[in-house]
Every structure is written in C-alpha cells, then in structure tokens.
Copies of this chain bind each other. A is one copy, B any other.
Amino acid sequence: MSLPAEFALIARHFRPLAGEGALDLADDAAVLDLPAGRRLVIAADAMVEGVHYLPDDPPETIGRKLLRVNLSDLAAMGAAPLGYLMTTVLSRGTPDDWIAGFARGLAEDQRAFALTVLGGDTAATPGPTCLSLTILGTVAPGAVLTRAGARPGDEIWVSGTIGDGALGLKVLRGEVPDDASGHLARRYRLPEPRLALGQAIAGLASAGMDVSDGLVQDLGHLCRAAGCAAVIDAVSVPLSDAARHLVTGDGALLASVLTGGDDYELLFAAVPDAAPALRAAALRAGTPITRIGRMVEGGPAVRVMDGKGAPIVLAREGWSHF
C-alpha cells in the first residue's frame, strides 16, 4: 500500500529533524520526561506569509525565524530550550524545493540551539502559508524571569541593538537605501534569541521580556505589570552602525526604531545596585547590554525623551495585527 503525499512530505522533510521522544513523528503524540528538578516553560507563536515574513524571503531563513522568535520567548523567561512542535499550513502549490529549504534552515538551527522537533501537523490552504510553533523549555524553580516585578527606581536595560529588524523590513521593501553589509535585512530575517543572557540575568533582573512588537509598546507591558511608569532616553537606545547611519540621514526613522518591532532583544528592569552583576552576566553571555532609562512612579505610561530632556511624541507605540 502506498502512502498519501502528505505522509511522504513529512517523511522526506520533517522526520530527519525528529529527536528523542518524537517517536519518529509516526505516532499520535510525543512522550518525554523533563530533566529532574526543572519546571516546564512553554509558548507558541504563529507566522503568516506576507504578515510576519515576506513571500520572497528565502525559505531557509523562514523556518529559522519561526524557531528563533519562539526561542526568544524562552530567553525572556530565563529558560533553556527542550524541543518544539510545529504546524505548517502551506499555501497550495508550495514547491517541494521550498519545503526542503525550510526544513534545511530548521536543521541548521536545531544544531545551533541544541533542540529537535517533537511533533506537529501539516496541511494545505488556499490562502497564504500559515506557520505555528510551540516551543518547550525548562527552568530551575526560582529562576523564572517574568514581566511582573519591576519597581519605581529600577533601571531599564536592553540587549544588543534596537530597530535593526524594523529597518531591515524597510530595506527589503525598498523604502530606505540598503546598507552595504546586508546587516539590517539579515536581522529582520534572522533574529538572535538571547538565550544565554536570559538565563544569566534571571536571578538579577526584577522583570523582563523580549521586544517583539516595538520597544515602547513592549515596555508598556512591563509598566502595566508593575503598576508604574517608565522614562527612556532616546539617545541611549543602542543602535547598530547601519541603523545609526539611516537615522542620521532621516530623523523620522527614529520612530521606526522605537516602535517598529521585530527586535527580539531582551528588555529588563533591575535595581541600580545590580548593574555590576548584570554587566558581568552580559559579558559571560557574550551579549552587550545597555541602560536606557528607569521605572518611575505613576500610572502605566512610557515617556521617551530626546537628548535635551524634551519628550518625543510617537504616532503609535508598536505593532498590532488587528
């Protein structure tokens, strides 16, 4: 008896990605054990063709981006990766080559981040491709980093550089000039989940999250969870050379940097005394961190100040899908 095309597709492209517990993706579910003494951390994110990635993005980077935005959620909790499940609802007529490239990218990142696929589902749609991934990780009890817990007086930090993803999308759309290095487009297509940093700061920060929908809007979530306000200094926000070059040429792009999203950097708060330990942790993790402001008394609001201490008014604070 021959297998239908759906099973052949899974066997050819996805079964080689399966790891321990996945039962070769041939059973109804995966069965696994958590490492002794660890808690389960679990999150899910979806990506839609034309919404979260561009239809002509290379398939190799689309699978990796899907995995990385989910890994970034683990990083934000201070968790270490365990495995993932994925549902791929592919636009009818998606070429086999595309699926092969998508799986090849996943294979590369599975090695880079030491995890494997545990299960999932594959179907077809007359609409755009719709991908969903559930990430599993683990954390030691007492070492969970959550969004709640910041206090007035805490300093606000971010990892890496902000705005590259949003500007990278503009580069790929031809809305701003390309940077010779391709840095911005690469950052849009391949975010860097800050897993080592998340685990290193989990015991030091009072609250944390990853920046996915825009720095200002996401900082608003920390404010809401804490019942206080935040003030950030726009000139302190760390920019890559490529981003700084664009913003210097067109000051209006600063709003894209602060609200555009697709950063997947860590945003966290900590008491001022924690600064030396945070810097040491960042050094160990190999990820730069920068202090950009502080939490203050007041209702949930984010104030962005320019270099002269005057407020910057933003038309929108971040990204919404509706």
Contact = CB atoms under 8 A, between A and B. Distances in A.
The dominant DSSP class at the A interface is mixed
A292 interface: no
A46 B45 CA distance: 13
Interface stretch (A122-130, A156-164, A171-179, A244-252): A122-130
A6 B89 contact: no
A134 B85 contact: yes
Given A1-B300, A4-B320, A126-B50, A118 B42 contact: yes
Nearest to A300: B1
A29 interface: yes
A73 B118 CA distance: 14
A277 interface: no
Interface stretch (A20-28, A233-241, A283-291): A20-28
Interface residues of A, number: 77
Best-surrounded residue of A6, A120, A123, A221 (most CB of chain B within 10 A): A123
Interface of A: 1, 3-7, 9, 23, 26-34, 39-46, 48, 50-52, 72-74, 76-77, 79, 85-87, 89, 118-128, 130, 132, 134-137, 139, 144, 146-148, 209-210, 217, 220-221, 223, 225, 300-302, 317-322
22 contacts: A1-B300, A1-B302, A4-B319, A5-B320, A6-B322, A27-B148, A28-B73, A28-B209, A29-B74, A29-B137, A30-B42, A31-B39, A31-B41, A31-B77, A44-B87, A46-B123, A48-B125, A85-B134, A122-B321, A126-B128, A127-B127, A132-B132
